[in-house]
Homo-oligomer: A and B are copies of this chain.
């Protein structure tokens, strides 16, 4: 039987749209997603879960109401559940996200940046 790793750089080559996380692997009832982002997102909250951000390329600032956290490649941060946040970048960022299945990227904030669920890059 053949087992294949998930190559993050290779998977990013299949992602062209921004702010639209793609599931690349599953871990129990959690999903590992890759996302390309650029510019500013929307302020939103995930009331039911923490959310992990790991930056692969670029510089991502996660704005929080009481201060910002800036992530460079090889740095991660977990936004605690219930904490309002808004990612912003200076240039393009490639990041890995981990959260439970079913989380909507904009939380309850909605709007045009709300992404459709996409697991087409999962083996």
Which A residues form the contact surface with B (CB < 8 A)? Answer: 1-9, 25-28, 30, 32, 49-52, 56, 62, 64, 66-72, 74-78, 81, 98-100
Contacts of A7 in B (CB 8 A): 74-75
Number of copies: 2
Contact partner of A70 among B5, B49, B51, CB < 8 A? Answer: B5
Q: Do A74 and B9 touch (CB < 8 A)? A: yes
Q: Do A77 and B5 touch (CB < 8 A)? A: yes
What residue in chain B is nearest A100 (Cβ atoms)? Answer: B28
A4-B62 Cα distance, complex, nearest whole Å? 11
Starting from the known contacts A3-B68, A3-B77, A9-B74, 14 additional A-B residue pairs (CB-CB under 8 Å) come to A3-B64, A4-B69, A5-B75, A5-B76, A5-B77, A6-B75, A6-B77, A7-B75, A25-B52, A25-B76, A27-B52, A27-B99, A32-B76, A32-B78
